[in-house]
Amino acid sequence: MDLEITSDSILRMLAAQGVACDATRAQGYATALAQMLKGAAPGTAQLAFEEEPAGYLAEQRRNAP
């Protein structure tokens, strides 16, 4: 599954929470989130389904900057 994070999706998610945001900031957030998820994807994809919740957190800690 390949999801694209766009500034529009960020604006809609923030609006659903009652948070206003300008388009420039939303684009920055979208870029940062896409980079983080792209970096975490290979390690997360290797986890067995039954390990996912605990393994996902461990993988995040292992790859934290």
Cα dihedral 19/21/27/29 (nearest 10): -40
Tell whether 19 is covered by a domain: yes
Tell whether 1 is covered by a domain: no
Domain that holds residue 40: 7-62
Tell whether 50 is covered by a domain: yes
Tell whether 2 is covered by a domain: no
Cα dihedral 48/52/54/60 (nearest 10): 100
Instruction: Find all residues with CB under 8 Å of 27, minimum gap 6, and list them.
Output: 7, 10
For residues 63 and 56, give the distance between their C-alpha atoms in angstroms, rounded to a whole number. Answer: 11
Domain count, the chain: 1
pLDDT of residue 6: 92
Structure tokens at 24: 């420039």
What string of pLDDT tens digits covers the 65 residues of the chain? 567 889 999 999 999 999 999 999 999 999 999 998 888 888 777 777 666 667 777 777 887 77
